[in-house]
Amino acid sequence: MSAVNPVGNAGHHAGTDAAVHRTRRLSTETKAAFKTTEFFSYVAAVVAVLIASMVVGDNDGHADYFRADKAWLYIVVLTVGYMISRGLAKYGSRDPYDESR
């Protein structure tokens, strides 16, 4: 990160203490999680698992093949995958800083 202020002048001003003057943060790590396609894919997958678990039942004398415990296990696996993907996205990536966000 450079020591240039938004006006374009050097970061050092005559008569100011270096400990008092702090540079502005001009970048963020990544976009907010709810602004990504990963988030919407995750939500859609969780909804699909819940709907599939609800629809598949013990009709016509067959056993329930997709019980609630298996559905929640799949949701936990999806959640772990989503958290890993967000961690990889944040690892070393930069997104231009915009104060209007």
Residues 6+ apart with CB under 8 A from 24: 5, 6
Render pLDDT for 53-93 as a digit per residue (tens, 0 to 9).
888 877 777 777 888 889 999 999 999 999 998 888 777 66
Q: Give me 87's structure tokens.
A: 């961690």
The amino acid sitting at 47 is V
Q: Give me 23's structure tokens.
A: 């540079």
Render pLDDT for 15-35 as a digit per residue (tens, 0 to 9).
555 556 666 666 565 677 778
In 3-state terms, what secondary structure has residue 72?
A: helix
Q: CA of 82: how far to CAs of 9, 18, 46, 60, in Å?
A: 42, 42, 11, 37
In terms of pLDDT, which residue wins out, 2 or 52?
52
